[in-house]
Structure 1
Amino acid sequence: MLIEWGEPRGLGVPESTARLNFTEERREAANRPGRRVLALDGDPAFELSFWCGTCPLLFRRLDGSRQTFSMESERESPTGAPAAPAGTEDRIDEGLVDRFGALLPAGTYVPVLLSVEPRLVVPGREGDYFSDEQVATWGVDQFWGLPEYPHTPYYRTFETPVDASAHFYEFVVPMVPPPWNERERVEQYVERMGRGTVPAAVAVSTLDVCEPGSGSPADHYRHWGLTHFLLDGHHRLEAAATAGRPVRLLSLLALDAGLSGSEEHARLPGLRARPRADRVPSTD
Protein backbone atom coordinates (compact mmCIF):
# COMPACT_ATOMS: atom_id res chain seq x y z
CA MET A 1 0.00 0.00 0.00
CA LEU A 2 1.22 3.48 -0.87
CA ILE A 3 0.99 5.79 2.15
CA GLU A 4 2.74 8.94 0.94
CA TRP A 5 4.65 9.96 -2.20
CA GLY A 6 6.90 12.94 -1.56
CA GLU A 7 8.21 15.60 -3.90
CA PRO A 8 11.59 15.25 -5.62
CA ARG A 9 14.34 16.93 -3.65
CA GLY A 10 18.09 17.24 -3.54
CA LEU A 11 19.74 14.96 -0.99
CA GLY A 12 23.18 13.55 -0.40
CA VAL A 13 26.78 14.59 -0.07
CA PRO A 14 29.66 14.81 -2.58
CA GLU A 15 30.41 11.46 -4.18
CA SER A 16 33.88 11.42 -2.65
CA THR A 17 32.42 11.41 0.88
CA ALA A 18 29.22 9.39 0.32
CA ARG A 19 29.26 5.94 1.88
CA LEU A 20 26.99 4.62 -0.86
CA ASN A 21 27.44 5.34 -4.55
CA PHE A 22 25.79 4.24 -7.78
CA THR A 23 28.71 4.09 -10.14
CA GLU A 24 30.49 2.34 -12.99
CA GLU A 25 33.14 -0.21 -12.15
CA ARG A 26 36.53 0.00 -13.84
CA ARG A 27 36.28 -0.97 -17.51
CA GLU A 28 37.78 -4.31 -18.57
CA ALA A 29 38.10 -3.08 -22.17
CA ALA A 30 38.28 0.43 -23.60
CA ASN A 31 35.28 -0.08 -25.87
CA ARG A 32 33.03 -1.71 -23.27
CA PRO A 33 31.44 0.02 -20.27
CA GLY A 34 32.22 -1.29 -16.82
CA ARG A 35 29.65 -2.99 -14.65
CA ARG A 36 27.00 -0.79 -13.12
CA VAL A 37 27.26 -1.21 -9.33
CA LEU A 38 26.09 0.03 -5.97
CA ALA A 39 29.30 0.59 -4.00
CA LEU A 40 29.65 0.71 -0.21
CA ASP A 41 32.66 2.59 1.12
CA GLY A 42 34.24 2.29 -2.31
CA ASP A 43 33.80 -1.48 -2.63
CA PRO A 44 31.26 -2.94 -5.11
CA ALA A 45 28.33 -4.23 -3.03
CA PHE A 46 25.79 -5.09 -5.75
CA GLU A 47 26.00 -5.52 -9.49
CA LEU A 48 22.97 -3.84 -11.09
CA SER A 49 21.15 -4.24 -14.40
CA PHE A 50 23.53 -3.56 -17.28
CA TRP A 51 23.47 -0.13 -18.93
CA CYS A 52 21.99 -1.32 -22.26
CA GLY A 53 18.45 -1.80 -20.88
CA THR A 54 18.01 -4.94 -23.00
CA CYS A 55 19.83 -7.24 -20.58
CA PRO A 56 17.83 -8.86 -17.76
CA LEU A 57 17.01 -6.99 -14.57
CA LEU A 58 19.67 -7.66 -11.95
CA PHE A 59 20.71 -7.09 -8.34
CA ARG A 60 23.62 -9.43 -7.62
CA ARG A 61 25.30 -9.32 -4.22
CA LEU A 62 29.09 -8.85 -4.33
CA ASP A 63 31.87 -9.04 -1.75
CA GLY A 64 31.42 -5.42 -0.62
CA SER A 65 27.93 -6.03 0.81
CA ARG A 66 28.92 -6.89 4.37
CA GLN A 67 27.19 -4.40 6.69
CA THR A 68 23.96 -2.57 7.38
CA PHE A 69 23.19 0.94 8.59
CA SER A 70 20.87 -0.22 11.35
CA MET A 71 19.82 2.08 14.17
CA GLU A 72 18.30 -0.77 16.19
CA SER A 73 20.96 -0.61 18.91
CA GLU A 74 19.91 2.98 19.62
CA ARG A 75 16.34 1.92 20.26
CA GLU A 76 16.70 -0.88 22.79
CA SER A 77 14.70 -0.80 25.99
CA PRO A 78 16.42 -1.19 29.40
CA THR A 79 15.62 -4.93 29.24
CA GLY A 80 17.50 -5.35 25.98
CA ALA A 81 14.36 -5.97 23.88
CA PRO A 82 13.84 -3.89 20.75
CA ALA A 83 11.93 -0.72 21.49
CA ALA A 84 9.20 0.46 19.11
CA PRO A 85 10.97 1.80 16.02
CA ALA A 86 10.51 5.44 15.17
CA GLY A 87 8.84 6.49 11.96
CA THR A 88 5.84 4.14 12.15
CA GLU A 89 3.33 6.95 11.66
CA ASP A 90 1.46 7.35 8.39
CA ARG A 91 3.72 10.13 7.18
CA ILE A 92 7.24 10.53 5.90
CA ASP A 93 9.70 10.96 8.77
CA GLU A 94 11.86 13.93 7.72
CA GLY A 95 14.44 13.09 10.35
CA LEU A 96 15.02 9.68 8.77
CA VAL A 97 15.15 11.26 5.32
CA ASP A 98 17.91 13.62 6.43
CA ARG A 99 19.81 10.99 8.37
CA PHE A 100 19.93 8.36 5.64
CA GLY A 101 20.19 10.95 2.89
CA ALA A 102 23.58 11.87 4.33
CA LEU A 103 24.86 8.40 3.34
CA LEU A 104 24.02 8.92 -0.33
CA PRO A 105 25.68 10.69 -3.25
CA ALA A 106 24.28 14.10 -4.12
CA GLY A 107 21.33 13.78 -6.48
CA THR A 108 17.58 13.98 -6.83
CA TYR A 109 15.54 11.65 -4.63
CA VAL A 110 11.85 11.08 -3.92
CA PRO A 111 10.96 10.03 -0.36
CA VAL A 112 8.23 7.38 -0.51
CA LEU A 113 6.43 5.77 2.42
CA LEU A 114 4.98 2.31 1.79
CA SER A 115 3.29 -0.40 3.79
CA VAL A 116 4.67 -3.74 2.57
CA GLU A 117 4.10 -7.37 3.50
CA PRO A 118 7.41 -8.98 2.53
CA ARG A 119 7.70 -12.52 1.23
CA LEU A 120 11.17 -14.06 1.62
CA VAL A 121 12.46 -15.72 -1.55
CA VAL A 122 15.49 -18.00 -1.88
CA PRO A 123 17.04 -18.04 -5.38
CA GLY A 124 16.12 -21.14 -7.34
CA ARG A 125 13.14 -21.97 -5.13
CA GLU A 126 9.42 -21.25 -5.37
CA GLY A 127 8.59 -17.62 -6.11
CA ASP A 128 12.05 -16.71 -7.41
CA TYR A 129 11.68 -13.96 -9.99
CA PHE A 130 14.98 -14.86 -11.67
CA SER A 131 13.98 -18.50 -12.24
CA ASP A 132 10.39 -17.74 -13.22
CA GLU A 133 9.23 -14.44 -14.72
CA GLN A 134 12.66 -13.42 -15.94
CA VAL A 135 13.33 -16.75 -17.65
CA ALA A 136 9.91 -16.55 -19.32
CA THR A 137 11.00 -13.30 -20.98
CA TRP A 138 14.77 -13.62 -21.55
CA GLY A 139 15.33 -17.35 -21.24
CA VAL A 140 18.39 -18.67 -19.39
CA ASP A 141 21.86 -17.17 -19.69
CA GLN A 142 23.23 -18.23 -23.06
CA PHE A 143 26.71 -18.93 -21.70
CA TRP A 144 25.92 -20.61 -18.38
CA GLY A 145 22.64 -22.21 -19.45
CA LEU A 146 21.17 -21.12 -16.10
CA PRO A 147 18.96 -18.29 -14.78
CA GLU A 148 20.55 -15.17 -13.37
CA TYR A 149 21.59 -15.69 -9.75
CA PRO A 150 21.41 -12.81 -7.23
CA HIS A 151 23.67 -14.45 -4.61
CA THR A 152 21.27 -13.49 -1.81
CA PRO A 153 17.80 -14.26 -0.52
CA TYR A 154 15.52 -11.27 -1.06
CA TYR A 155 11.94 -10.13 -0.45
CA ARG A 156 9.13 -9.72 -2.94
CA THR A 157 6.50 -7.18 -1.93
CA PHE A 158 4.38 -6.07 -4.90
CA GLU A 159 3.52 -6.87 -8.52
CA THR A 160 1.08 -5.32 -10.96
CA PRO A 161 0.64 -4.96 -14.73
CA VAL A 162 1.77 -1.59 -16.12
CA ASP A 163 -0.07 -2.03 -19.41
CA ALA A 164 -0.41 -4.71 -22.10
CA SER A 165 3.34 -4.66 -22.79
CA ALA A 166 4.89 -4.09 -19.35
CA HIS A 167 4.77 -5.49 -15.81
CA PHE A 168 5.93 -3.95 -12.53
CA TYR A 169 7.88 -5.91 -9.89
CA GLU A 170 9.05 -4.70 -6.49
CA PHE A 171 11.88 -6.18 -4.42
CA VAL A 172 13.51 -5.46 -1.07
CA VAL A 173 17.16 -6.55 -1.11
CA PRO A 174 19.00 -6.89 2.22
CA MET A 175 22.53 -5.53 2.46
CA VAL A 176 23.43 -8.72 4.37
CA PRO A 177 21.55 -12.01 3.94
CA PRO A 178 18.84 -12.98 6.47
CA PRO A 179 20.90 -15.88 7.91
CA TRP A 180 23.22 -13.20 9.32
CA ASN A 181 20.39 -11.77 11.44
CA GLU A 182 20.30 -12.44 15.19
CA ARG A 183 17.62 -15.09 15.82
CA GLU A 184 16.60 -13.70 19.20
CA ARG A 185 16.04 -10.22 17.79
CA VAL A 186 13.94 -11.56 14.91
CA GLU A 187 11.82 -13.56 17.36
CA GLN A 188 11.32 -10.47 19.53
CA TYR A 189 10.00 -8.55 16.56
CA VAL A 190 7.72 -11.44 15.58
CA GLU A 191 6.25 -11.34 19.08
CA ARG A 192 5.79 -7.56 19.01
CA MET A 193 4.13 -7.70 15.58
CA GLY A 194 1.72 -10.28 16.95
CA ARG A 195 0.64 -7.62 19.44
CA GLY A 196 0.05 -5.05 16.70
CA THR A 197 3.38 -3.22 16.42
CA VAL A 198 4.12 -2.00 12.88
CA PRO A 199 7.88 -1.34 12.71
CA ALA A 200 9.73 0.75 10.14
CA ALA A 201 12.59 0.13 7.72
CA VAL A 202 14.61 2.39 5.40
CA ALA A 203 15.99 1.76 1.91
CA VAL A 204 17.59 3.50 -1.04
CA SER A 205 15.85 2.51 -4.25
CA THR A 206 16.20 2.44 -8.03
CA LEU A 207 13.80 1.88 -10.91
CA ASP A 208 15.22 -0.16 -13.80
CA VAL A 209 13.11 -0.72 -16.92
CA CYS A 210 14.44 -3.57 -19.05
CA GLU A 211 13.21 -5.26 -22.24
CA PRO A 212 14.76 -7.93 -24.50
CA GLY A 213 16.26 -6.47 -27.63
CA SER A 214 15.54 -9.33 -30.04
CA GLY A 215 14.51 -12.94 -30.35
CA SER A 216 11.19 -14.62 -29.67
CA PRO A 217 10.83 -15.25 -25.96
CA ALA A 218 7.72 -16.99 -24.71
CA ASP A 219 6.50 -13.93 -22.82
CA HIS A 220 7.95 -10.71 -24.27
CA TYR A 221 7.30 -7.56 -22.26
CA ARG A 222 9.12 -4.79 -20.42
CA HIS A 223 10.03 -5.44 -16.79
CA TRP A 224 9.84 -2.48 -14.43
CA GLY A 225 11.94 -3.38 -11.39
CA LEU A 226 11.64 -1.17 -8.31
CA THR A 227 14.48 -2.41 -6.10
CA HIS A 228 14.81 -1.25 -2.50
CA PHE A 229 18.28 -1.81 -1.05
CA LEU A 230 17.63 -2.19 2.65
CA LEU A 231 19.71 0.08 4.88
CA ASP A 232 17.92 -0.22 8.23
CA GLY A 233 15.43 -2.89 9.29
CA HIS A 234 16.95 -6.28 8.42
CA HIS A 235 15.55 -8.03 11.52
CA ARG A 236 12.16 -6.34 11.06
CA LEU A 237 11.79 -7.43 7.43
CA GLU A 238 12.60 -11.04 8.28
CA ALA A 239 10.21 -10.95 11.23
CA ALA A 240 7.44 -9.50 9.05
CA ALA A 241 7.98 -12.23 6.44
CA THR A 242 7.91 -14.87 9.18
CA ALA A 243 4.77 -13.50 10.82
CA GLY A 244 2.94 -12.46 7.65
CA ARG A 245 2.67 -8.90 8.99
CA PRO A 246 3.24 -5.46 7.39
CA VAL A 247 6.11 -3.05 7.93
CA ARG A 248 6.49 0.59 6.98
CA LEU A 249 9.20 1.12 4.38
CA LEU A 250 10.70 4.55 3.85
CA SER A 251 12.25 4.51 0.37
CA LEU A 252 14.63 7.16 -0.92
CA LEU A 253 14.12 6.67 -4.65
CA ALA A 254 17.23 7.77 -6.57
CA LEU A 255 15.87 9.31 -9.76
CA ASP A 256 19.35 9.80 -11.24
CA ALA A 257 20.56 6.22 -10.64
CA GLY A 258 18.08 3.94 -12.40
CA LEU A 259 17.55 2.81 -15.97
CA SER A 260 14.41 4.90 -16.28
CA GLY A 261 13.31 8.41 -17.12
CA SER A 262 10.80 11.09 -16.24
CA GLU A 263 7.87 9.39 -17.99
CA GLU A 264 8.33 6.20 -15.98
CA HIS A 265 8.87 8.16 -12.77
CA ALA A 266 5.61 10.04 -13.32
CA ARG A 267 3.69 6.77 -13.52
CA LEU A 268 5.11 5.24 -10.36
CA PRO A 269 2.71 6.78 -7.79
CA GLY A 270 -0.33 5.53 -9.69
CA LEU A 271 1.15 2.06 -10.17
CA ARG A 272 2.18 1.72 -6.56
CA ALA A 273 -1.25 2.85 -5.35
CA ARG A 274 -2.95 -0.13 -7.03
CA PRO A 275 -4.02 -3.22 -5.09
CA ARG A 276 -1.33 -5.86 -4.91
CA ALA A 277 -1.47 -8.68 -7.45
CA ASP A 278 -0.01 -11.90 -6.01
CA ARG A 279 1.29 -12.90 -9.40
CA VAL A 280 1.42 -11.03 -12.69
CA PRO A 281 -0.39 -13.14 -15.30
CA SER A 282 1.44 -14.27 -18.43
CA THR A 283 0.73 -12.45 -21.67
CA ASP A 284 0.48 -15.79 -23.53
Structure 2
Amino acid sequence: MTKLISYLDNMVISDSTSPIEYKRAGYRQRYLTMNGEEIANTGIDCETCLFLVQASGAKMKNPISISSKLNDGLAELCHDLVADLSCIIPDGQYVVALLRVYPSLKRQVDGSEYYRVGQRQFDIWKKVEEYLVPIQPSESLDPSVIQEYIKLVEKGTIPTALCISFLDMKYPLDGLSFDELWLHTHYLLDGHHKMFAAAKAKKPITMLSFLSIDESFANKEQIEKLMQLLM
Protein backbone atom coordinates (compact mmCIF):
# COMPACT_ATOMS: atom_id res chain seq x y z
CA MET A 1 0.00 0.00 0.00
CA THR A 2 1.27 3.47 -0.87
CA LYS A 3 2.39 5.66 2.04
CA LEU A 4 2.67 9.42 1.60
CA ILE A 5 5.85 10.74 3.24
CA SER A 6 5.48 14.42 2.33
CA TYR A 7 4.22 16.64 -0.48
CA LEU A 8 4.27 20.14 -1.95
CA ASP A 9 0.85 21.50 -2.87
CA ASN A 10 0.21 23.43 -6.10
CA MET A 11 3.72 23.69 -7.54
CA VAL A 12 3.72 25.61 -10.84
CA ILE A 13 6.27 24.84 -13.58
CA SER A 14 6.42 27.56 -16.22
CA ASP A 15 9.92 27.44 -17.72
CA SER A 16 10.48 23.75 -18.40
CA THR A 17 12.96 22.70 -21.09
CA SER A 18 11.60 19.16 -21.12
CA PRO A 19 11.05 17.47 -24.50
CA ILE A 20 8.03 15.76 -22.88
CA GLU A 21 4.59 17.35 -23.42
CA TYR A 22 0.93 16.50 -22.86
CA LYS A 23 -1.55 15.98 -25.67
CA ARG A 24 -5.32 15.53 -25.49
CA ALA A 25 -7.11 13.65 -28.27
CA GLY A 26 -10.74 12.61 -28.11
CA TYR A 27 -12.87 11.78 -25.11
CA ARG A 28 -10.75 11.20 -21.99
CA GLN A 29 -7.67 10.42 -24.06
CA ARG A 30 -4.31 11.80 -22.96
CA TYR A 31 -0.80 11.16 -24.23
CA LEU A 32 2.76 11.87 -23.21
CA THR A 33 4.68 13.03 -26.27
CA MET A 34 8.32 13.72 -26.97
CA ASN A 35 9.28 16.08 -29.75
CA GLY A 36 5.80 15.56 -31.22
CA GLU A 37 5.94 11.75 -31.06
CA GLU A 38 3.51 9.87 -28.80
CA ILE A 39 5.48 7.84 -26.26
CA ALA A 40 2.69 6.67 -23.92
CA ASN A 41 -1.09 6.61 -23.98
CA THR A 42 -2.16 7.67 -20.48
CA GLY A 43 -5.90 7.89 -21.14
CA ILE A 44 -8.19 5.95 -18.82
CA ASP A 45 -10.37 4.20 -21.39
CA CYS A 46 -7.74 2.25 -23.35
CA GLU A 47 -4.69 0.05 -22.96
CA THR A 48 -1.30 1.61 -22.34
CA CYS A 49 1.52 0.84 -24.77
CA LEU A 50 5.09 0.70 -23.49
CA PHE A 51 7.83 2.77 -25.07
CA LEU A 52 11.37 3.69 -24.13
CA VAL A 53 11.67 7.36 -23.24
CA GLN A 54 14.95 8.75 -24.46
CA ALA A 55 14.77 12.15 -22.76
CA SER A 56 17.20 14.44 -24.47
CA GLY A 57 17.47 18.18 -24.77
CA ALA A 58 16.41 19.06 -21.22
CA LYS A 59 18.80 21.43 -19.46
CA MET A 60 19.31 19.76 -16.09
CA LYS A 61 21.56 21.20 -13.40
CA ASN A 62 24.02 18.85 -11.69
CA PRO A 63 22.74 15.61 -13.27
CA ILE A 64 25.39 13.46 -11.53
CA SER A 65 24.49 14.87 -8.12
CA ILE A 66 20.76 14.43 -8.80
CA SER A 67 21.26 10.83 -9.90
CA SER A 68 23.28 10.10 -6.76
CA LYS A 69 20.57 11.56 -4.50
CA LEU A 70 17.86 9.48 -6.18
CA ASN A 71 19.97 6.32 -5.98
CA ASP A 72 20.65 6.88 -2.28
CA GLY A 73 16.94 7.59 -1.76
CA LEU A 74 15.06 10.59 -0.41
CA ALA A 75 13.83 10.62 3.19
CA GLU A 76 12.00 13.92 2.66
CA LEU A 77 11.23 16.36 -0.11
CA CYS A 78 14.07 18.70 -0.99
CA HIS A 79 12.87 21.93 -2.62
CA ASP A 80 16.15 22.47 -4.49
CA LEU A 81 16.09 18.95 -5.94
CA VAL A 82 12.43 19.31 -6.99
CA ALA A 83 13.29 22.61 -8.68
CA ASP A 84 16.23 20.99 -10.52
CA LEU A 85 14.08 18.08 -11.70
CA SER A 86 11.29 20.37 -12.92
CA CYS A 87 13.19 20.97 -16.16
CA ILE A 88 12.18 17.49 -17.38
CA ILE A 89 8.53 17.86 -16.36
CA PRO A 90 6.07 19.64 -18.70
CA ASP A 91 4.80 23.10 -17.70
CA GLY A 92 1.72 23.06 -15.48
CA GLN A 93 0.42 22.83 -11.92
CA TYR A 94 1.44 19.86 -9.78
CA VAL A 95 1.23 18.29 -6.39
CA VAL A 96 4.74 16.95 -5.81
CA ALA A 97 4.66 13.95 -3.47
CA LEU A 98 7.24 11.61 -2.02
CA LEU A 99 5.63 8.16 -1.69
CA ARG A 100 6.80 4.84 -0.31
CA VAL A 101 5.52 1.72 -2.07
CA TYR A 102 6.03 -2.05 -2.26
CA PRO A 103 5.75 -2.65 -6.03
CA SER A 104 4.35 -5.89 -7.40
CA LEU A 105 5.08 -6.56 -11.08
CA LYS A 106 2.21 -7.89 -13.20
CA ARG A 107 2.36 -9.08 -16.80
CA GLN A 108 -0.68 -9.17 -19.05
CA VAL A 109 -1.45 -11.70 -21.76
CA ASP A 110 -0.26 -9.31 -24.46
CA GLY A 111 3.14 -8.99 -22.76
CA SER A 112 2.63 -5.48 -21.37
CA GLU A 113 3.68 -4.84 -17.79
CA TYR A 114 2.62 -2.73 -14.86
CA TYR A 115 3.16 -2.59 -11.11
CA ARG A 116 0.41 -2.69 -8.54
CA VAL A 117 1.34 -0.32 -5.73
CA GLY A 118 -1.82 0.04 -3.65
CA GLN A 119 -5.56 -0.21 -3.18
CA ARG A 120 -7.88 1.08 -0.47
CA GLN A 121 -11.62 1.39 0.07
CA PHE A 122 -12.51 4.70 1.72
CA ASP A 123 -16.29 4.71 1.34
CA ILE A 124 -18.88 2.01 0.78
CA TRP A 125 -18.99 2.88 -2.96
CA LYS A 126 -15.54 4.45 -3.43
CA LYS A 127 -12.05 3.05 -3.71
CA VAL A 128 -8.58 4.12 -4.83
CA GLU A 129 -6.49 1.83 -7.02
CA GLU A 130 -2.85 2.70 -7.64
CA TYR A 131 -0.68 1.51 -10.49
CA LEU A 132 2.76 2.28 -11.86
CA VAL A 133 3.39 1.94 -15.59
CA PRO A 134 7.00 1.46 -16.77
CA ILE A 135 7.82 3.12 -20.05
CA GLN A 136 10.83 0.82 -20.56
CA PRO A 137 10.05 -2.93 -20.78
CA SER A 138 11.85 -5.18 -18.31
CA GLU A 139 13.39 -7.25 -21.13
CA SER A 140 15.50 -4.24 -22.07
CA LEU A 141 16.94 -3.76 -18.57
CA ASP A 142 20.54 -4.62 -17.71
CA PRO A 143 20.59 -7.73 -15.43
CA SER A 144 23.86 -6.64 -13.80
CA VAL A 145 22.40 -3.27 -12.82
CA ILE A 146 19.30 -4.99 -11.43
CA GLN A 147 21.51 -7.24 -9.29
CA GLU A 148 23.39 -4.23 -7.91
CA TYR A 149 20.11 -2.60 -6.88
CA ILE A 150 18.89 -5.87 -5.34
CA LYS A 151 22.03 -5.92 -3.17
CA LEU A 152 21.39 -2.29 -2.16
CA VAL A 153 17.73 -2.74 -1.22
CA GLU A 154 18.46 -5.96 0.66
CA LYS A 155 20.96 -3.97 2.76
CA GLY A 156 18.23 -1.46 3.62
CA THR A 157 18.75 1.27 1.01
CA ILE A 158 15.45 2.69 -0.26
CA PRO A 159 16.18 4.38 -3.63
CA THR A 160 13.86 6.88 -5.29
CA ALA A 161 12.23 6.71 -8.73
CA LEU A 162 10.77 9.65 -10.68
CA CYS A 163 7.20 9.68 -12.04
CA ILE A 164 4.58 11.81 -13.73
CA SER A 165 1.22 10.92 -12.19
CA PHE A 166 -2.51 11.43 -12.70
CA LEU A 167 -5.69 10.99 -10.70
CA ASP A 168 -8.61 9.92 -12.89
CA MET A 169 -12.22 9.30 -11.93
CA LYS A 170 -14.23 6.34 -13.22
CA TYR A 171 -17.87 6.59 -12.20
CA PRO A 172 -20.46 3.79 -11.95
CA LEU A 173 -22.49 3.14 -15.08
CA ASP A 174 -25.74 2.63 -13.17
CA GLY A 175 -24.79 2.92 -9.53
CA LEU A 176 -24.75 -0.88 -9.13
CA SER A 177 -22.21 -2.29 -11.58
CA PHE A 178 -19.03 -1.17 -9.83
CA ASP A 179 -17.74 1.28 -7.25
CA GLU A 180 -16.67 4.82 -8.00
CA LEU A 181 -13.02 4.23 -8.87
CA TRP A 182 -10.26 6.73 -8.19
CA LEU A 183 -7.43 5.64 -10.49
CA HIS A 184 -4.06 6.92 -9.29
CA THR A 185 -1.54 6.07 -12.00
CA HIS A 186 2.19 6.81 -12.10
CA TYR A 187 4.26 6.78 -15.31
CA LEU A 188 7.88 5.91 -14.60
CA LEU A 189 10.35 8.37 -16.14
CA ASP A 190 13.47 7.32 -14.25
CA GLY A 191 14.23 4.32 -12.06
CA HIS A 192 13.23 1.25 -14.08
CA HIS A 193 16.10 -0.87 -12.73
CA LYS A 194 15.40 0.26 -9.15
CA MET A 195 11.70 -0.51 -9.43
CA PHE A 196 12.24 -3.96 -10.94
CA ALA A 197 14.85 -4.78 -8.29
CA ALA A 198 12.58 -3.66 -5.44
CA ALA A 199 9.73 -5.78 -6.82
CA LYS A 200 11.95 -8.84 -7.22
CA ALA A 201 13.41 -8.47 -3.72
CA LYS A 202 9.99 -7.58 -2.26
CA LYS A 203 11.47 -4.46 -0.71
CA PRO A 204 10.13 -0.88 -0.55
CA ILE A 205 11.06 1.94 -2.88
CA THR A 206 10.15 5.61 -2.85
CA MET A 207 8.70 7.57 -5.76
CA LEU A 208 9.01 11.29 -6.37
CA SER A 209 5.67 11.92 -8.06
CA PHE A 210 4.70 15.01 -10.04
CA LEU A 211 0.89 14.66 -9.94
CA SER A 212 -0.60 16.83 -12.69
CA ILE A 213 -3.49 18.99 -11.51
CA ASP A 214 -4.23 20.31 -15.00
CA GLU A 215 -4.21 16.99 -16.85
CA SER A 216 -5.90 14.71 -14.32
CA PHE A 217 -9.53 13.78 -14.91
CA ALA A 218 -10.27 14.91 -11.36
CA ASN A 219 -10.84 18.22 -9.61
CA LYS A 220 -8.52 19.84 -7.09
CA GLU A 221 -10.71 18.85 -4.14
CA GLN A 222 -10.47 15.20 -5.15
CA ILE A 223 -6.69 15.50 -5.46
CA GLU A 224 -6.53 17.03 -1.98
CA LYS A 225 -8.67 14.17 -0.68
CA LEU A 226 -6.28 11.68 -2.26
CA MET A 227 -3.34 13.23 -0.38
CA GLN A 228 -5.25 12.83 2.89
CA LEU A 229 -6.02 9.18 2.08
CA LEU A 230 -2.37 8.40 1.38
CA MET A 231 -1.11 9.72 4.72
**TM-score normalized by structure 2?**
0.85
The CA distance in 1 between the partners of 2:186 and 2:32, in whole Å, is: 12
| Alpha-carbon offset, residue 200 of structure 1 | 1.0
Matches within 5 A, 1:42-191: 42-49=36-43, 56=45, 58=46, 60-61=48-49, 65-67=51-53, 74=64, 85-86=70-71, 88-124=73-109, 152-191=112-151
* 1:162 to 1:95, Cα distance in 2 relative to 1, 3 A: same
Equivalent residue, structure 1, for 2:34: 40
SS of the counterpart of 2:173?
A: coil
Whose helix proportion is higher, 1 or 2?
2
Checking the alignment, whether the CA contact within 8 Å between 1:204 and 1:252 is kept in structure 2 is yes
Equivalent residue, structure 2, for 1:204: 164
Matched residue type, 1:153: E
User: CA offsets, 1:237-259, max 9 Å, x none?
Assistant: 00000001111111011111110
**TM-score normalized by structure 1?**
0.70
Checking the alignment, whether the CA contact within 8 Å between 2:102 and 2:202 is kept in structure 1 is yes
The CA distance in 2 between the partners of 1:265 and 1:174, in whole Å, is: 23
* 1:59 to 1:109, Cα distance in 2 relative to 1, 3 A: farther
| Alpha-carbon offset, residue 96 of structure 1 | 3.4
| Alpha-carbon offset, residue 182 of structure 1 | 0.5
User: CA offsets, 1:80-136, max 9 Å, x none?
Assistant: xx9674562321133432233212222111110011110001114xxxxxxxxxxxx
| Alpha-carbon offset, residue 36 of structure 1 | 2.3
Checking the alignment, whether the CA contact within 8 Å between 2:166 and 2:185 is kept in structure 1 is yes
* 1:9 to 1:34, Cα distance in 2 relative to 1, 3 A: closer
Checking the alignment, whether the CA contact within 8 Å between 2:119 and 2:127 is kept in structure 1 is yes
Count of residue pairs the alignment pairs up: 223
Checking the alignment, whether the CA contact within 8 Å between 2:14 and 2:91 is kept in structure 1 is yes
Whose strand proportion is higher, 1 or 2?
2
Equivalent residue, structure 2, for 1:21: 21
SS of the counterpart of 1:192?
A: helix
Checking the alignment, whether the CA contact within 8 Å between 2:32 and 2:41 is kept in structure 1 is yes
Unaligned runs of 5+ in 2: none
CA RMSD of aligned residues (A): 2.7
| Alpha-carbon offset, residue 158 of structure 1 | 0.9
Unaligned runs of 5+ in 1: 26-31, 51-55, 76-81, 125-148, 274-284
Larger radius of gyration: 1
* 1:224 to 1:190, Cα distance in 2 relative to 1, 3 A: same
The CA distance in 1 between the partners of 2:135 and 2:78, in whole Å, is: 22
SS of the counterpart of 2:165?
A: strand
Checking the alignment, whether the CA contact within 8 Å between 1:12 and 1:104 is kept in structure 2 is no
SS of the counterpart of 2:206?
A: strand
Matched residue type, 2:8: G
Matched residue type, 1:179: E
In percent, how many aligned pairs have the same letter?
Answer: 26
The CA distance in 2 between the partners of 1:225 and 1:33, in whole Å, is: 17
SS of the counterpart of 2:153?
A: helix
The CA distance in 2 between the partners of 1:203 and 1:224, in whole Å, is: 18
* 1:238 to 1:69, Cα distance in 2 relative to 1, 3 A: farther
| Alpha-carbon offset, residue 33 of structure 1 | 5.1
* 1:12 to 1:68, Cα distance in 2 relative to 1, 3 A: farther
| Alpha-carbon offset, residue 162 of structure 1 | 2.7
